Amino acid sequence: MKSMPLPMPALAGGGVALRPWRVDDVDHLVSAWKDPEVLRWTPVPDDAGPEKAAVWIAGARHRLETAIALDLVVVDGGGTAVGEVGLSDLDHDGRVAQIGWWTAAHARGRGVATQAVSLLARWALGPPLNLTAVLARIHPDNEGSLAVARAAGFRTLATRDNSEIVIVAATPQRPRPAGIDPDVLAGEEHKTTQRG
Ligand SMILES: CC(C)(COP(=O)(O)OP(=O)(O)OC[C@H]1O[C@@H](n2cnc3c(N)ncnc32)[C@H](O)[C@@H]1OP(=O)(O)O)[C@@H](O)C(=O)NCCC(=O)NCCS
């Protein structure tokens, strides 16, 4: 299938909402890039400062229009930025995408990631994208994100005990997606994205 610009969804529920990145989100992103947990589990640029953050934020529209990624800020009920969630590595033929996320340190432990991941994954599995699966690639030692994925309705699709990747697919209301080869997917995990 030919790549089409990705739609920008308007999603909210469970005390959070998802919105596009804005220029005034630089501090939110830079803070996350300095956070030890984000540094440990997600690929953060070497020169992760305000300039890099501004460039990355400015590129979000282009990534959307070229179907490279859908990057969203998670905000709480008061409009404060509390995290990030996004889709990347879209396979338009297989109708599969990867999902990634982080929660700002000050907002952890209150369901932010679970709600954000649930909202975006459910949306991606329905119209207009109608993906057959949303995949999260999580290090087996990343207990927090494994818990988030499970709480958001994902289930394990493939694991690699002696390596770094656990693959789970979001199929809350669907049978196991056909045509997804875990071994093929497991070989693709090192694509560089801003998220884990
Ligand atoms: C992991 C992370 C996303 C959790 O965010 P959060 O908003 O605090 O998560 P939630 O409040 O939605 O928690 C969901 C579940 O995970 C559990 N959990 C959260 N962090 C945990 C941790 N560090 N260890 C064990 N369990 C954890 C919660 O207890 C909760 O469990 P429950 O459903 O049984 O109540 C956050 O710590 C983070 O940003 N980590 C660094 C980035 C990262 O790992 N990104 C993903 C890369 S694949």
Task: Identify the pLDDT of residue 196.
Answer: 43
Q: Chain-centre distance of CA 17, in angstroms? A: 15
- Give pTM, 2 decimals: 0.87
Nearest CA to ligand 1 atom 14: 148
As a CATH number, domain 12-185 is 3.40.630.30
DSSP 153: T
The more confident residue out of 155 and 100 is: 100
Residue 171 binned pLDDT confidence (cut-offs 50, 70, 90): low
Distance, CA of 104 to CA of 28 (rounded, Å) = 8
Pocket test for ligand 1, best of 71, 103, 139 (most atoms within 8 A of CB): 103
Q: Give the domain ranges of the chain.
A: 12-185
Distance, CA of 90 to CA of 3 (rounded, Å) = 9
DSSP 18: E
For the stretch 90-111, pLDDT in tens is 987 778 899 999 999 999 999 9
